[in-house]
Each structure stands twice: as structure tokens, then as C-alpha cells.
Amino acid sequence: MNDQARVLRGLVDQQESDAVPAPHARSLRARTIAITSGKGGVGKSNLALNMAIALRQSGAEVCVLDANLGLGNIDVLCHENSYWNLSHMVSGVRTLAEICRTGPAGVRVIPGAGGLVDVADCPERVQKKMLSQLVELEHSHDFLIIDTGSGIDRRVRRFLESADVVLVITTPEPTSIADSYATIKALMSSPEIPVLEAVVNQARSREEATRILERIGETSRIFLQTEVGAGGFLPYDTAVPEAVNLQTPFLLHAPRCPASRAIEQLARRIKNISRVKQSHGDFFSRIWPSRPREAAQAS
């Protein structure tokens, strides 16, 4: 078991941490959007951050969970290096309010969120303390954007199964398309399948993106008997690598470039999507199979 999991296991006697103050009182929980890909290097984290900014600019309260294991890509894209992360919250060294920082355009970011799945291995007292704070965070935002790792390992799958909507990101490369389909197929054995949307990144033309989205949708419908929506596409745009080199979100670096207009359109689709069926219970409760119900109910 990795070091983070060992730290999480031994935290039975930690002190109660303070929750993140809610910017507004809400009776409804956040809509959770997990962003994933079958392989790395498709621009998933860049898309997650910029879509979060677009949602924030539309007036929504947004929090990004950087669930990539290892070095967080969100930090790199924001030109930051967050030492404090989720493991420090569970150990009692830092509170959730202290590790949840404010990023570009007022988007909140939780670093090191990939370790959330490992909390399931912790004693129930640790889970309760974590859950009560995280559920409060969830009820104080309109959207939670989860930037998962690529592939379909245990941690990634738990995030995808627990989300309301999953965006599967692909590029026009045949290997990327095949890996995206494999990710969709792997989710078919889940007890509750989330809403699935395919998004093409770095498309050379609208026609190319449309062909790819239709192919993924038709293949999923015929062989998996499931619907995968055409979430949209982002065109190849030189402003994107320019912004990455500057470690600035491209939506802020070049707000009128084609990629920025496309990410705003994608954010509108996500915000207004009518067929989202929110899963039962809170997102953080669903991550842990043996979750402490008392903590969820108390929140």
C-alpha cells in the first residue's frame, strides 16, 4: 500500500477539522462532473480547469478536485505548487479550508484528491470526520469538477461511478479513440451508469470531430446498448500550447480564441444539460462503499 494509504489508516485519533465556509447556503448538492480519458496526453486536465473557469464566469460556484495521482496537473497549469493536500487534512495537520485554495477566476481547487478513494480503508471514525466536512463543501458549490487520472484503475473507476456526468476526452488519434471506447465499456458493469458524454480535443475541423463523436455514439449504442452523448469538441488552437507554456489557463490568456469559445459552449451544455439524473446521495458518500451513514445524515 502506498505511503498516503498508510498515513490514512493510522489517523484514528485525529482532531475534528474545520469545514470550508459555504459561500452561499444551498439545500441542493453540487452537480459532479468527472473528466477522464483512456490514455494520457489528451489535454484532460487543461480542459477540466478551463471548463471550471467558464462555469465560474457564468456565475456558478465551482470546485475542482485534482484527482490525478502523483504530480497534480492543475497546479502546473496554474503556475502553483501546493504542498498542502488532502493527506494533510486527514492527518489533522491542515483543515479543509486551509488546503482548499482559490485558483484562477475564483475557482476553488483541492489538491491531492486522488487519495479520497483510499479513505475507504481507514477506520470509521476517520471516515466520519472526513465525510462531514466534504459533504458540507459539496453543498456549498454548484459544480464539482473531478480531474481523474487516465485509464480505468480502481481509483479512477470509483470517481467515475460516483459522478453524475462523465466526460470522456479523446483526440482524433485512432489509439485515443479506441482507449476512450474501452473506458466506456469498462463502466458498463457499474451498478449505476452515469450520464456519458464524449468530447473530442484538438480536432482539425468540425467535420472530423462530428465523425468521431458519431462513431463513438453508434458503436456504444450497437455493442454496449448505451447512449453516449456528443458533448462537443475543442479545435486545435495554437493559443492553447502558448497558454500552457505560460502556465495560464487559455480561457484567460486568449478569451476570444477558437478553443476558448468552444470551452464556453461546452460549459453551457454541461450547465444546462437536461437529461442529467443525479445519483442518490452525496458524491463523497458514494465514493466509499462502506460509508458512515450517520455522518452523511448529520450533514
What is the chain's pLDDT, residue by residue, as a tens digit (299 residues)?
Answer: 444 444 444 433 333 333 444 444 454 788 999 999 998 889 999 999 999 999 999 999 999 998 876 556 887 888 777 777 777 777 777 778 888 889 999 999 988 766 666 665 666 776 777 777 788 888 899 999 999 988 888 888 888 998 999 999 999 999 999 999 999 999 998 888 889 999 999 999 999 999 999 999 999 999 999 999 999 999 999 999 999 999 999 999 999 999 999 999 999 999 877 445 555 667 877 776 554 444 444 44
Contacts of 8 (CB under 8 A, 6+ apart): 87, 90, 115, 118, 119, 121, 122, 126
User: For the segment 190-223, what is each residue's pLDDT rounded down to a tens digit?
Assistant: 888 889 999 999 999 999 999 999 999 999 999 9
Coil vs helix vs strand at 69: coil
List b or e across 200-224, with b for residues whose CB sees 16 or more CB atoms inside 10 angstroms.
bbbbeeeebbeebbeebbeebeeeb
Its CATH architecture, for the domain 28-298, is 3-Layer(aba) Sandwich (3.40)
Helices (H) and strands (E) in the chain, counts: 14, 8
Q: What is the per-residue pLDDT for 22?
A: 44
Predicted TM-score of the model (pTM): 0.83
User: For the segment 252-269, what is each residue's pLDDT rounded down to a tens digit?
Assistant: 999 999 999 999 999 999
